[in-house]
Structure 1
Amino acid sequence: MTTQDFQQQINAIKRAVQGSQLSQATAMVEQLKARSLVAAQRVEVLYLAAVINRLSGSHAAAISELNELLALRPDHGRAFQELAYNHQATGDAQQAASAFYRATHYNPALLASWKQLLAIYRQHNDAAAEQLASQQIDYLQGLPPPVLGAYDLMYEKQLGAAEQVCRQFLQQNKHHPEAMLLLAELGIQHKVYHDAEFLLESCVELYPDNLRAVISYLSLLAKLGKHQKVVTISDKQLSRFTDNLQIMMARANALLGLNQTAQAVDMFNALLASDADRPAVWLALGHAYKTTGDTDKATHAYLQAAHYHPQFGDAYWSLANMKSYRFDDQSLAEMVTIAQQPSISIEDNIHLCFALGKGFEDSQDYEKSFAYYSKGNHLKLHSVQYDIRRAEQAIEAQMKACQPELFSAKSGGFPAPDPIFIVGMPRAGSTLLEQILASHSDIDGTMELHNILSLASSVSGQKKPYPFCLADLSTEQCYQLGKQYIEQTRYYRGTGSFFIDKMPNNFMHIGFIKRILPNAKIIDARRDPIDCCFSNFKQLFGEGQEFSYGLDEVARYYKAYIKLMDHWESVLSGEVLRVQHEDVLDDLEGQVKRMLDYLGVPFEPGCLNFHQTERLIKTPSAEQVRQPINRQGQGRWQPYQAQLAPLLKHFDNA
């Protein structure tokens, strides 16, 4: 069924409902259900079916439809609102209250649900919750109806429709702050970071008293790795918004991003000294200690976060993600109980599932382990609404746009030899390679920098989108873009002549990198496909890497990555050094010398003793690379072989 045909039938059902022709609407819904529908279409049909059943008084049937819908889209705010109405109609006040709460959690623009919650809070004399609900109602009622409608569309994942409504409103109401904030948020969700940053910067300048604009701007700058800018703006804004916790946290996290860890730790501890009941601050403090290798203090901080917020899934996942930490049987049992609580949010449940997956893996209960890994991935994949075809299409676009003539006929770029890019799949050994190279006296390790992604976003033109616009970049543009990269990344460097940018996803942008930084070195960190893919499947990433939350998706992404790397080898022969993780395990000294020869720096024995190098490490592999070379990560998928058919089928000949 084409998208147009489907939409026509959906519109016909809506007209029938509006005309109170419920029998006709039911018949049309049943016809649609019998068709072959993609998940998003099925969600829309189930929602309409639930509405029709509720209006017909068939509340049990409506609840059944909604439960099926929520299995497909567990963060569907309007579905929870419908569920609440049905529980209300059947006299189940407790279930109704829970559903209204979840509705507002996943779609904060649902004014009707907030009003229902306000009445519930007043009935229970919950003054703090009543104040929160009243503030949100006042805020939503103060929004122009088109903006409120656009927010509703955004929270229900209808991003295109939300953007269209928002842009139409801004054409008539230029510089409206709430519409600017919404359009910026839509830009962030579309990963058009350059446009979003410009919008938020403008909004803060135009409306300096708008705290929401300030917080959104700082959040985006942090996402883009512009930590120095966050510190500068935070210092300025704290004079206006004195002692604001969100701004102070933004500043402390930025200091952490700039490797000023001692100052960040001091800020976190000061915040906790004034109020220990701040789980998010304990979590951030734990992350700070983890980057320095102080696992005892990190463990204590994460446990405190869980103590003050027992449903705080990220606290448990952070413990599990330290790799060396082991949950005892009592802790696992308590976590299972928490994960089953009806009030737990999807986000916390996802974190708990990954933590339980790791916990049961450590206790060698592989059946339970995989069940929790699988559940966590299922929830995450449906929450992010990821479509692997978009990544595959983006890679095809890179191959089509970046042909040999792009590099042979073009000149320019900033000639600095400083950058060393380590690219590839996550969980492929890039942190190990970075730790080895950063143990050299002339090479600085930094972190996974967002600067290439940000610069690439900034060049996408109106006539030609990225990467097809690369052919139109002038010599001067390439020079200035390369210079910008060097200047922007100076904050993260030490005194070495060279520095490492280990953002793995930069493999997508090698063509762009070689246009703006022709002398940059690029290392492709490669690992056994099944070890690599399964390691991704078990890892809950802080952001991005959405491909990792499905066995089929991660396998297809890996194969697309290999295809693109083969393309770079064909058009940029010899420019990229491939380093196989298993070869490093087999012959550390030989591979170290091979990398240093490629980089043009002399051999230093310190690179072989990389685990003794003291530096801040902010990736999941932080603990592993502080140990001598070992094979603990090899073959970790084998106890799960029976459950990994969707992955293994992609690599039958590997």
Structure 2
Amino acid sequence: MSSINTPQTETQANANTSAQALGAIQQNIQQGNFAQAELDAKALLAKSTDQETRTMCWYLLAVGYRLQQSHESAIEALNTLLVITPEHSRAFQELGYNYRALKQGKQASIHFYKATKINPALLSAWQALLPIYQQANQSSATKLCQSQIKQLSALPKPILAATDLLYDGKITQADIMCRQYLQKNKHSITGLQLLADIALALKATSEAEFILETAVELAPEKPEVKYQLFKIYSKLGKFAKALALANTLTEQDPQNTFYQLAKATALVGVGDISAAITIYTDTVANGHTQANIYLLLGHAYKNQGDIKASVTAYQQAYSADPYCGDAYWSLANTKTYAFTTTEIDTMLSGTQQQDISVKDKIHLHFALGKAYEDQGANGSTSANKYKDAFTHYAIGNKLQRSTLAYSHESHRSFVKSQINAFTPELIRQLKDKGHSSAAPIFIVGLPRAGSTLLEQILASHSTVDGTMELHEIMGLAANLSKKQGNKPSYPFNLGSINNDYFARFGEKFINDTQVYRQGGTYFIDKMPNNYMHIGLIKLILPNAKIIDARRDPMACCFSGFKQLFGEGQEFSYSLTDIALYYKNYVTLMDHWQQLFPGEILLVNHEDIVANTDTQIRRMLDFCGLEFEQACIDFHKNKRAVKTPSAQQVRQPIYTSGLAQWKNFEPYLQELKDALNSDVA
């Protein structure tokens, strides 16, 4: 019987062929056979569409050109490479070598520095920068270089090599090399720290937490390990633990600005925003006027509801760094700020600067999108302004998408796994095994679907605490997903778990979230991605209330597309990806509705806007709450809000946002097609 190649094996075969061809090109360059290497590289470019292969081809061509002293050709090849892969550290390092050879010292230093920004483990780039800074008498830059060279040179070679691989995005190879080193050096703190970074890159945040907690136990005298663990706690939303660590660090080293800022971050996390603002303003008063500190201050003011003060802080950030993309995007993200002509011109200039990072350019494009959209809403040339706005949103999304590794297939597979695992039989088997508390109210939904508005309404009730997007359910799911030998992992392992554990899980959730509460009978967890785990939630907390925030598909998807999120939501940077994600969200929510009839309340944003009083009373009835006028007057609630909708929920409900997407309708055919397609 003849074998038939599946698409997967064909892909693997093509990858193997490309790897062999690249290996041969590299060998020819090493042996000085430059003409043959160039011919083979161009031949491979002509037939390959794989991004990684094409990137490597252009890189090898550039190296060959440089070794032949054809520096202009090398620079041209590297610029082509950077169009394909904008954050390629070694391409910037190669540009540095070529500009140095052309005696263009400033350009050389710019590109060597860019290389180190992307990959701080590039020892050779730091070494190339040092004499440039010394010759220019740049004392602070020289000290930084010397410090980095000393630190990197002191690392064991396998750890330096693995760190290099990690920063270059070769995470699997970095993981293998690091683990091999740790097998021989089990208590290496440096090795454990790197392993935690690798786990973080693999989105195994709970594993990174465990590794670093182990490292802290082994080396309690090393503050840098505690600081790394602090960042993990913050990422997981464990702000009480983060604050305890930050307090320890500031007690050990009161003059350390990083530790003071860490404490402020944790204080914001637990809701003590005034104390955080005091730390930020004291830090600025002590002469630390970097853009990132003003950004943190601005975010804290925004969370507190002081938009005027937040705007001032963001403007101070771009005064400190004129092309600080995050400052402009943060201004746009207040949703009420109107950019001046000067600010727009500066942003446009920033998008064209060669020495501006991709991250800054992404922020600038999103901010320009918002600036032109606002002009379109207020001016007579609206059609052109909306076209300009969409152009910048599209560029920003494309750039952001190029930095991510989102897979629609992975999300679809996850949804299918939840549907296949959570059957009526499983629910009957584990019914009422969880913790009896009725305190949690979960609000789930896609980003920009109106969940923050629903939270603000319910949190205005005297018996309900608004908290934040809590990470506890996601953390529990991650822990249950850990592979135990040949045993199935989450969600297929729930039927084999000791039934007593479900009540323990529920009790742990109640205890762990206590720190975010203010004494109310009920509290809200507004983590949008909890929709993935409603089955798990109902098993551990069968009496919890769940509200599904929905919005018109076109409005919801396009609103997500024009929002640059702080992290996560990787699906939102492509119109097709976001449409397919929306459809799979609906598929999974339909499954939960069938499994738990009457226990999940669907609230459409359009219904809230059209019949506010009726829908608010409907929500209160579902949650078993008495009517209170404060819920109608939710916009008067001064509680801290940490989502992009913070300013919007401090205003009465308005209808103008319902059809904003229609201003962009001529450019949204891809979104319409994906929403209407049979693909899911």
Q: TM class, shorter-chain normalised?
A: over 0.9
Matching residue of 1:275: 287
Gaps of 5+ in 2: 1-10, 377-384
Matching residue of 1:651: 675
- The CA distance in 2 between the partners of 1:282 and 1:201, in whole Å, is 31
CA contact (8 A) 2:195 2:208 kept: yes
Matching residue of 1:388: 408
CA contact (8 A) 1:522 1:576 kept: yes
* Identical amino acids, percent of aligned pairs: 44
Q: 1:4 to 1:468 in 2, by over 3 A?
A: farther
In the TM superposition, residue 264 of structure 1 has moved relative to its aligned partner by 1.5
- The CA distance in 2 between the partners of 1:391 and 1:56, in whole Å, is 47
CA contact (8 A) 1:386 1:546 kept: yes
Matching residue of 1:325: 337
Matching residue of 2:471: 450
Q: Secondary structure at the match of 2:430?
A: coil
Matching residue of 1:6: 18
**1:422 matches 2:443:** yes
CA contact (8 A) 1:404 1:572 kept: no
**1:405 matches 2:417:** no
Matches within 5 A, 1:94-493: 94-275=106-287, 277-364=289-376, 365-411=385-431, 412-460=433-481, 461-462=483-484, 463-493=487-517
1:604 aligned to which of 628, 636, 659: 628
CA contact (8 A) 1:416 1:519 kept: yes
In the TM superposition, residue 652 of structure 1 has moved relative to its aligned partner by 4.1
In the TM superposition, residue 276 of structure 1 has moved relative to its aligned partner by 5.2
1:414-441, Cα deviation, whole Å (9 max, x unpaired): 2211111111100000000001111112
Kindly provide the amino acid, as one letter, of the partner of residue 183 in structure 1: L
- State the TM-score, normalizing by the size of structure 2: 0.92
In the TM superposition, residue 644 of structure 1 has moved relative to its aligned partner by 2.0
CA contact (8 A) 2:162 2:178 kept: yes
CA contact (8 A) 1:434 1:502 kept: yes
Q: 1:5 to 1:598 in 2, by over 3 A?
A: farther
Task: Decide which moves more: 138-147 or 474-483.
Answer: 474-483
**1:40 matches 2:64:** no
Q: 1:129 to 1:632 in 2, by over 3 A?
A: same
Matching residue of 2:610: 586
Kindly provide the amino acid, as one letter, of the partner of residue 445 in structure 1: G
1:285-323, Cα deviation, whole Å (9 max, x unpaired): 211211222111111111112222222221111111111
Matching residue of 1:519: 543
Q: Secondary structure at the match of 1:614?
A: coil
Task: Decide which moves more: 234-243 or 26-35.
Answer: 26-35
CA contact (8 A) 2:553 2:582 kept: yes
- The CA distance in 2 between the partners of 1:37 and 1:602, in whole Å, is 61
CA contact (8 A) 1:569 1:576 kept: yes
Q: Secondary structure at the match of 2:146?
A: helix
Q: 1:402 to 1:41 in 2, by over 3 A?
A: farther
RMSD of the alignment, in Å? 1.9
- The CA distance in 2 between the partners of 1:399 and 1:560, in whole Å, is 11
Kindly provide the amino acid, as one letter, of the partner of residue 38 in structure 1: D
In the TM superposition, residue 101 of structure 1 has moved relative to its aligned partner by 1.0
Q: Secondary structure at the match of 1:507?
A: helix
1:214-268, Cα deviation, whole Å (9 max, x unpaired): 2211111111111111111111122222221111111111111111122112222
Q: 1:600 to 1:40 in 2, by over 3 A?
A: farther
- The CA distance in 2 between the partners of 1:279 and 1:83, in whole Å, is 28
In the TM superposition, residue 36 of structure 1 has moved relative to its aligned partner by 4.4
Kindly provide the amino acid, as one letter, of the partner of residue 482 in structure 1: G
Q: Secondary structure at the match of 1:354?
A: helix
Q: Secondary structure at the match of 2:252?
A: coil
Task: Decide which moves more: 207-216 or 443-452.
Answer: 207-216
In the TM superposition, residue 535 of structure 1 has moved relative to its aligned partner by 0.8
In the TM superposition, residue 17 of structure 1 has moved relative to its aligned partner by 3.3
CA contact (8 A) 2:246 2:266 kept: no
CA contact (8 A) 1:404 1:571 kept: yes
Task: Decide which moves more: 168-177 or 513-522.
Answer: 513-522
Q: Secondary structure at the match of 1:423?
A: strand
- State the TM-score, normalizing by the size of structure 1: 0.96
Matching residue of 2:560: 536
Kindly provide the amino acid, as one letter, of the partner of residue 377 in structure 1: N
In the TM superposition, residue 491 of structure 1 has moved relative to its aligned partner by 0.9
Matching residue of 1:639: 663
Matching residue of 2:3: none
CA contact (8 A) 2:133 2:139 kept: yes
- The CA distance in 2 between the partners of 1:96 and 1:385, in whole Å, is 31
Kindly provide the amino acid, as one letter, of the partner of residue 93 in structure 1: G
In the TM superposition, residue 57 of structure 1 has moved relative to its aligned partner by 4.0
CA contact (8 A) 1:423 1:505 kept: yes
CA contact (8 A) 2:291 2:316 kept: yes
Kindly provide the amino acid, as one letter, of the partner of residue 360 in structure 2: D
- The CA distance in 1 between the partners of 2:315 and 2:355, in whole Å, is 21
- The CA distance in 1 between the partners of 2:457 and 2:83, in whole Å, is 45
In the TM superposition, residue 9 of structure 1 has moved relative to its aligned partner by 3.2
Q: 1:516 to 1:25 in 2, by over 3 A?
A: farther
- The CA distance in 2 between the partners of 1:566 and 1:86, in whole Å, is 58
Kindly provide the amino acid, as one letter, of the partner of residue 425 in structure 1: L
- The CA distance in 1 between the partners of 2:617 and 2:534, in whole Å, is 24
Q: 1:494 to 1:410 in 2, by over 3 A?
A: same
Q: Secondary structure at the match of 1:568?
A: helix
In the TM superposition, residue 173 of structure 1 has moved relative to its aligned partner by 0.8
Q: 1:632 to 1:233 in 2, by over 3 A?
A: same
Q: Secondary structure at the match of 1:325?
A: coil
Matching residue of 2:5: none
Q: Secondary structure at the match of 2:513?
A: helix
Q: Secondary structure at the match of 1:363?
A: helix
- The CA distance in 2 between the partners of 1:594 and 1:313, in whole Å, is 42
Task: Decide which moves more: 403-412 or 587-596.
Answer: 403-412
CA contact (8 A) 1:311 1:348 kept: yes
Kindly provide the amino acid, as one letter, of the partner of residue 86 in structure 1: N
In the TM superposition, residue 653 of structure 1 has moved relative to its aligned partner by 8.1
Q: Secondary structure at the match of 1:344?
A: coil
Q: Secondary structure at the match of 1:399?
A: helix
- The CA distance in 1 between the partners of 2:424 and 2:32, in whole Å, is 63
Q: Secondary structure at the match of 2:355?
A: coil
Q: 1:413 to 1:590 in 2, by over 3 A?
A: same
In the TM superposition, residue 343 of structure 1 has moved relative to its aligned partner by 2.2
- The CA distance in 1 between the partners of 2:64 and 2:165, in whole Å, is 21
In the TM superposition, residue 602 of structure 1 has moved relative to its aligned partner by 2.2
Name the count of aligned residue pairs. 654
Matches within 5 A, 1:546-557: 546-557=570-581
1:510 aligned to which of 528, 531, 534: 534
Task: Decide which moves more: 210-219 or 313-322.
Answer: 210-219
